[in-house]
Structure formats: C-alpha cells, structure tokens
C-alpha cells in the first residue's frame, strides 16, 4: 500500500535533526543523574533552548528501573526549585549513543561502564559532568544514596556550576545548527 507523501514528516525530521541530545548518567538513575537532568532542564528553559534539546537521564545499572527519583533527591531538588518527581529511572542502552550528542557521567566508575558500551562510531561527547566546572577542583559527583542528607546539597552545589558550563557548550553547538 502506498502512503501519501506528507511534508510534515520531513519538517518534523528536520526539526529533530537540529535538536541536540544530552544524557546524564549515574549508577541507579535515582539521585545524581535526575538532579542533573532537572537542573539542566530548568536552565535550558530559562535560556529559551528547551525546544532545541532532547534531555534525559539513565543509570548504568537496572536496580531502580521505573522508579521515581529518591525521595531525598526530590526534596533537596525542590528546595532549589527543580522539579524531578515525574522522572523515572531507566538503564542506559547502546541506542542512547545514536540519540544523544552529549553523554555525561557523574563519576569515573559510571564513565568506564559507558566507555565499555560505546559503539566504535560514536562521534558525540562522552565524559564527566564536572569537567565542565574545573574551578570546583573535583571531577566526580559523590553518590549521596548511603550518606547523610547534606550529601544531596553537595550534589546540587557541584552540579549547578557544571550544568551552567555544559549548557554553554551545548548552546555553542546549537548556534552552529541555526539561530537560537
């Protein structure tokens, strides 16, 4: 059966190609990476870039697939006006490398997991989130899951400047694809 040619499909594909994908990754996708996703979403929306981006988070392990973020992550994110309670944990998959131009890990252990999964032809950025905030003097966002409540504030303190740095780099890429 022939399907009528529909220009809107081409236009949708064109719009999709101009979108830049950003994926945040931690171990279980219930603390650090959903917090990073929430911070990135809000800052991108404030800059008017949200519709030019594909934003998600995932974990290298499937411990919590389908679950919302940790209640403490939700609580501490909400204190800074980031809404993450609707997010649901998922495991990173090989196909993510074809969907996301920027894949950023919270720590070296998760970065190693991603490097092992990365297809040889992946041309995007794969690295640590805190590399976008070298002034912080640390390269890894510590996992607050088993620690004290202050650990969630620490995650936010580290993630916020790193997200600002990452968003600058992503905005540069968007400018190359067309007017922002």
Residues 154-172: pLDDT tens digits? Answer: 999 999 999 999 999 999 9
32 is catalytic: yes
- pLDDT, one tens digit per residue, over 70-118 is 999 999 999 999 999 999 999 999 999 999 999 999 999 999 999 999 9
pLDDT at position 17: 55
CA 64 to chain centroid, in Å, comes to 17
**CATH code for the structural domain at 19-177:** 3.40.50.2300
The 8-class DSSP code of residue 63 comes to T
65 is catalytic: no
pLDDT of 9 > 70? The answer is no
**Tokens 């389908």 — which residue?**
66
pLDDT at position 178: 76
Percentage of the residues of the chain whose pLDDT score is greater than 70: 90
Catalytic residue among 56, 96, 101, 143: 143
62 is catalytic: no
Catalytic residue among 31, 32, 42, 101: 32
Cα separation of 70 and 75, whole Å?
9
């Amino acid at each position: 059966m022939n399907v009528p040619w529909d220009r809107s499909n081409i236009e949708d594909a064109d719009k999709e190609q101009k979108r830049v994908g950003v994926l945040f990754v931690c171990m279980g996708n219930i603390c650090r990476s959903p917090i990073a996703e929430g911070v990135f979403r809000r800052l991108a929306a404030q800059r008017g870039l949200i519709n030019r981006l594909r934003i998600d988070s995932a974990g290298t392990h499937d411990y919590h697939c389908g679950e919302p973020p940790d209640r403490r992550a939700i609580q501490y994110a909400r204190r800074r006006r980031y809404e993450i309670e609707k997010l649901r944990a998922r495991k990173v998959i090989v196909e993510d490398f074809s969907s996301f131009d920027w894949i950023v890990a919270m720590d070296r252990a998760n970065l190693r997991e991603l490097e092992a999964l990365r297809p040889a032809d992946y041309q995007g950025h794969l690295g640590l989130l805190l590399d976008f905030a070298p002034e912080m003097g640390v390269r890894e966002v510590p996992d607050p899951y088993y620690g004290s409540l202050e650990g969630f504030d620490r995650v936010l303190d580290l993630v916020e400047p790193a997200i600002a740095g990452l968003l600058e780099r992503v905005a540069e890429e968007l400018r190359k694809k067309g007017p922002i």
